Every structure is written in structure tokens, then in C-alpha cells.
């Protein structure tokens, strides 16, 4: 069994404003899409609930997607020049200059360089292999520019995406290098076997007319201690993808970059092509989870405004 994992600087890991204790942290196990068999990768995905595929995407294409997004955010005064440094200006002219925040965010989320990475031939090949059959991506894309101070609380994805298929995966892609200080994805080791929490998540079908609690109220460090597991993360690099199941608890570390750097990532759901796709996430104007389209996403708000926590 592959046990390759890269160490990272644990002192850079924070959650809910506090440093995480080193004994609670461990690196994500790494997989190699080109070198390992599809069977083995599927087995590991099933067992661990996730697969971290290092360097599977073209780094230059990922960096082009990053530039495309940050150029748009520079125009609304949120990212400073040169945009390659991803520094948040601390200000925004988005509300003043953009007619419709949802339409603006959809246009950023549908940039050609971004879609080449998120929905292109390489990730299609990866997801076909992991699904073990022809797969299909949702059109709706979650693009997440997280400025210092932002983080995502722990949750399962099942309540949002389980309507169309029983075999859905999230592909989370760092758009650039995302070291631990910039608040990358964090997953809870073994949480794909926490049947009590998964059972509760399976009861929830998130829709527009209700706002059920889908985030865990327990802090990540407390939960890890209670369950005797680690919080898994890594210094992500442009070209990496982490694929995980609807029943893996995940969130993010805090971004506490001292240089004011914005962490950028996207996440997209993939499923067997023969299963019906939840229409909320498909088509030229997907309605999204709550019916208001791209306007419901954190990214649709000016970067000066706080995230809601998923
Ligand atoms: O990127 C994040 O902060 C959270 C990602 C997430 O919740 C997801 O990919 O489902």
C-alpha cells in the first residue's frame, strides 16, 4: 500500500483562530495517477474516502486559470497588481461597478482557462478512471478566493449533491500553490466511517426553502481528539487534485497569510454519466443549491465581506 506523504510545517496550521496542536495533524496520503493502477486507486479512494493526486494536472494551465480569475478581481479593486502575488487590497469596488453580482461571478467561474482545468480532458480522464466508467461533471463550479481570516467549517457534501446519483465525488483543485498558512482543504481522517455523523448527514437534503444545519458545531481539534483521529492536510501545489466522497468530513484551515495572500481553489462534482444529474447544477444558468444561481456562492460577494461557512 502506498504510504507516501509530504511533511508540512505544522506551526502554519490554524483553525478557528487557534494554532492546531502538532499531535492532531498528519499529512494526506499521496497517490500517483500515472504510476498506479486504476483498481488500486479506486480501492484507496473507497478505503480512505479521498485520493490526493499530486501533479496530475498541467501546472501551466492551472497557473493560467489563476491569472484569469485574479485579473477579474483586480478590475474590481480586490487583488493588487501584480496579480500573480494574489495580494488582497483590503478594498472592493465590486458592488459599485458590477450590475449583477451573480452574473459577474458566473462569468468569472466560466472563464475558458479555468474551465480547461476544471472540466478539461485530463480531469475527465482521471474521473472516468476513478468512477470506473464514463463520468460527467456538474456545470456548476464553486470557485473560492479566500482572503486572510476566511475558512470553511467542517461538513459532509452529501446534503448538497446526493439527489442525482449515489456515486458522486468532489474534485477540489488548488488554483496555484496553496501552502498550509493560506488555508487549504483539511479532511478528517477516517470520517468516511463515522456512521453516526454520516447517518445524520444523509437525513438532510439541502434546499432553498429551509436552512438546515449542515456544518458540524464541534471544532475540528475537539472532534479529532474525541474520535482519536488526525486532521489531514498538506502544502498543495498547482497541478494537484484531491478527489473525495460525499461522506468525508472536510473543511479548510484558516488563511492567515502574513503577506495578505488570497487562497484560490475550485471544486466540482463528478458522477457516472449514466446517472441523472441534479438539474440545480446543470445547464447554462444553473440554479445552484438554493435557487439563486451563482449569487449564492461566497465568491459572489466582494472579498471584503465574510464567508458563510461552507
Ligand atoms: O475550499 C474550501 O474551503 C471548502 C471546499 C469544500 O467544502 C468542498 O470542496 O466541498
Q: What is the pLDDT of residue 209?
A: 46
131 Cβ neighbours under 8 A, 6+ residues apart: 167, 169, 270, 271, 272
Q: What is the CA radius of gyration of the chain?
A: 18
169 CB less than 6 Å from ligand 1? no
C-alpha cell at 273: 454519466
Alpha-carbon distances, residue 76 vs 73, 108, 310 (angstroms): 5, 12, 24
Residue nearest to atom 6 of ligand 1 (CA): 251
153 CB less than 6 Å from ligand 1? no
Going from the Cα of 154 to the center of ligand 1, the distance in angstroms, rounded, reads: 9
Going from the Cα of 44 to the center of ligand 1, the distance in angstroms, rounded, reads: 21
Each residue's pLDDT tens digit, 255-284: 999 999 999 999 999 999 999 999 999 999
Cα 78-83-89 angle, rounded to 5 deg: 30
Each residue's pLDDT tens digit, 2-15: 568 889 999 999 99
170 CB less than 6 Å from ligand 1? yes
CA pair distance 245, 157, nearest whole angstrom: 8
DSSP annotation of 155 reads: B
Q: Which of 250, 255, 308, 309 best tests ligand 1's pocket when mutated (most atoms within 8 Å of CB)?
A: 250
Question: Taking the complete model, does pTM exceed 0.85, yes or no?
Answer: yes
Indicate the helix (H) or strand (E) that contains 81: none
Closest alpha carbon to 236 in 214, 260, 263, 272: 263
Residue nearest to atom 5 of ligand 1 (CA): 251
157 CB less than 6 Å from ligand 1? yes
Closest alpha carbon to 17 in 255, 223, 178, 218: 255
pLDDT tens over the chain, length 310 residues? 556 888 999 999 999 999 999 999 999 999 999 999 999 999 999 999 999 999 999 999 999 999 999 999 999 999 999 999 999 999 999 999 999 999 999 999 999 999 999 999 999 999 999 999 999 999 999 999 999 999 999 999 888 887 778 899 999 999 999 999 999 999 999 999 999 988 888 887 777 545 455 667 789 999 999 999 999 999 999 999 999 999 999 999 999 999 999 999 999 999 999 999 999 999 999 999 889 999 999 999 999 998 875 5
CATH class of 21-293: mainly beta
Q: Domain limits of the chain?
A: 21-293
From the alpha carbon of 144, which atom of ligand 1 is closest? 1
Amino acid at each position: 500500500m502506498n504510504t507516501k506523504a509530504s511533511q508540512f510545517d505544522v506551526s502554519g496550521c490554524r483553525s478557528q483562530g487557534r494554532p492546531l496542536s502538532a499531535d492532531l495533524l498528519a499529512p494526506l496520503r499521496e497517490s500517483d495517477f500515472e504510476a498506479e493502477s486504476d483498481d488500486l486507486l479506486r480501492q484507496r479512494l473507497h478505503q480512505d474516502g479521498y485520493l490526493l493526486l499530486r501533479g496530475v494536472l498541467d501546472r501551466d494551465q492551472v497557473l493560467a486559470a489563476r491569472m484569469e480569475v485574479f485579473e477579474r478581481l483586480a478590475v474590481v479593486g480586490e487583488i493588487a497588481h501584480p496579480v500573480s502575488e494574489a495580494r488582497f487590497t483590503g478594498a472592493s469596488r465590486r458592488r459599485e461597478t458590477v450590475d449583477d453580482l451573480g452574473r459577474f461571478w458566473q462569468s468569472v467561474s466560466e472563464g475558458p482557462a479555468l474551465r480547461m482545468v476544471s472540466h478539461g480532458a485530463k480531469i475527465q480522464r482521471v474521473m472516468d478512471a476513478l468512477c470506473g466508467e464514463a463520468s460527467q461533471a456538474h456545470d456548476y463550479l464553486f470557485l473560492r478566493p479566500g482572503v486572510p481570516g476566511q475558512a470553511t467549517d467542517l461538513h459532509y457534501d452529501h446534503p448538497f449533491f446526493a439527489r442525482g446519483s449515489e456515486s458522486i465525488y468532489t474534485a477540489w483543485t488548488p488554483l496555484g500553490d496553496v501552502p498550509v498558512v493560506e488555508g487549504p482543504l483539511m479532511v478528517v481522517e477516517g470520517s468516511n466511517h463515522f456512521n453516526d455523523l454520516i447517518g445524520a448527514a444523509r437525513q438532510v437534503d439541502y434546499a432553498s426553502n429551509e436552512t438546515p444545519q449542515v456544518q458540524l458545531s464541534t471544532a475540528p481539534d475537539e472532534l479529532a481528539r474525541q474520535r482519536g483521529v488526525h486532521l489531514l492536510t498538506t502544502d498543495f501545489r498547482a497541478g494537484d487534485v484531491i478527489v473525495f466522497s460525499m461522506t468525508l468530513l472536510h473543511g479548510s484551515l484558516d488563511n492567515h497569510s502574513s503577506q495578505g495572500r488570497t487562497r484560490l481553489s475550485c471544486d466540482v462534482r463528478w458522477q457516472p454519466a449514466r446517472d441523472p444529474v441534479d438539474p440545480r447544477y446543470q445547464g447554462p444558468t444553473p440554479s445552484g443549491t438554493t435557487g439563486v444561481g451563482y449569487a449564492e456562492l461566497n465568491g459572489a460577494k466582494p472579498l471584503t465581506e465574510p464567508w458563510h461557512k461552507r
